């Protein structure tokens, strides 16, 4: 599941890249292999519980960089402290697995529910109530766009936290567990920033359109989160963030823009984004690198994973749907070759 060079580049650690970018492709065709990533998270839950306690929170905080124990081993402390959307990314991987396999045994007997419950507990302890807005905030985080640090209400972080809580509530009901009312309360009242006048999602509180961003961030609300939104909002998110995303940023970014444009049946716009992916392939062996200028990790499986997702979830239109086995909703039917 890991390219050797890519693995070494990231200090022999497992990152969010596995859960978000590589895992979904494996899950489609080899769910048994994909499950090993989830079982790794189950095995390292004790370390994640330690991480949360160390930061003063309840539940489990999965590390930004993880090794044998699940304790944070990222050499740069700020990523482990602030890039907490990793918890939601881990939870989404568990949800996607259940959609594909309907394997409740993983949750009932093999520790999956312990992970789900611990992540929900973490989010509940991480939020703060804002009496002025009358909703819950998550403050002091780094979004997927790593150019901005210590921001409040990262739209992706909050949306994936909300998604985590919803999955925990739904799964608890399916397993006939009584889930805390606190989970439901926070899920309903967690702020997910939306500028109603401009009809777009600000990346975080105080974001001004035009500010540069490193990589796919807000566009991830459309996919893989499939957060319900008006098509106008989806389009505006793409229009606003595409031109300000760093052209030298990591390879997987353009795949998510391509999926977004395909959802809106904008074939040529999608192809323009897909073509950018090829800038990260180097000669003579067609090896993917992290950044289009040749810098960063080599044999960059994250970029390859993003590219494959554009094929499977963009052009083919596959979607994970809870409550059905391999029931996909096709969003695109025609591939136009330029």
The DSSP H or E segment spanning 91 is helix 85-101
The position carrying tokens 């996909």 is 328
Cis status of the peptide bond prior to 245, with omega within 30 of 0: no
Catalytic residue among 83, 95, 146, 266: 146
**8 A C-beta contact, residue 297 and residue 10:** yes
Strand locations in 158-294 (E): 281-282, 287-288
**CA–CA separation, 135 vs 260, rounded Å?**
29
**CA–CA separation, 53 vs 7, rounded Å?**
28
Residue 266 among the catalytic residues: no
Helix, coil or strand: residue 141: strand
- Please give the C-alpha separations between residue 114 and each of 54, 73, 313, in angstroms, as whole numbers: 19, 22, 30
* Tokens of residue 5, six digits: 């060079």
Strand locations in 39-127 (E): 65-66
**CA–CA separation, 80 vs 90, rounded Å?**
15
Active-site residues: which are they?
146
């Amino acid at each position: 599941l890991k390219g050797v060079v890519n693995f070494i580049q990231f200090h022999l650690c497992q990152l969010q890249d596995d859960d978000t970018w590589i895992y979904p492709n494996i899950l489609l065709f080899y769910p048994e292999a994909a499950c090993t990533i989830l079982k790794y998270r189950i095995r390292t839950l004790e370390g994640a519980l330690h991480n949360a306690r160390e930061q003063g929170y309840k539940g489990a905080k999965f590390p930004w960089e993880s090794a044998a124990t699940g304790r944070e081993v990222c050499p740069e402390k700020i990523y482990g402290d602030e890039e907490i959307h990793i918890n939601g990314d881990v939870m989404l991987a568990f949800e996607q697995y259940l959609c594909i396999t309907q394997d409740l045994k993983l949750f009932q007997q093999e520790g999956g529910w312990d992970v789900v419950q611990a992540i929900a507990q973490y989010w509940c302890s991480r939020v703060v109530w804002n009496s002025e807005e009358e909703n819950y905030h998550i403050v002091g985080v780094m979004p997927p766009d790593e150019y901005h640090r210590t921001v409040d209400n990262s739209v992706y972080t909050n949306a994936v936290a909300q998604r985590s809580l919803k999955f925990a509530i739904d799964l608890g009901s399916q397993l006939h567990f009584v889930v805390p009312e606190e989970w439901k309360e926070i899920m309903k009242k967690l702020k997910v920033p939306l500028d109603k006048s401009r009809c777009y999602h600000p990346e975080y509180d105080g974001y001004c359109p035009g500010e540069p961003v490193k990589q796919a961030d807000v566009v991830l609300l459309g996919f893989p989160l499939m957060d319900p939104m008006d098509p106008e909002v989806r389009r505006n998110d793409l229009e606003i963030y595409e031109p300000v995303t760093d052209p030298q940023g990591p390879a997987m970014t353009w795949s998510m823009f391509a999926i977004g444009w395909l959802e809106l049946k904008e074939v040529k716009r999608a192809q323009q984004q897909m073509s950018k992916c090829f800038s990260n392939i180097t000669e003579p062996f067609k090896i993917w690198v992290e950044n289009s200028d040749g810098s960063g990790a080599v044999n960059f499986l994250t970029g390859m994973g993003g590219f494959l997702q554009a094929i499977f979830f963009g052009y083919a239109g596959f979607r994970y749907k809870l409550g059905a086995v391999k029931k996909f909703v096709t969003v695109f039917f025609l591939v136009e070759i330029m």
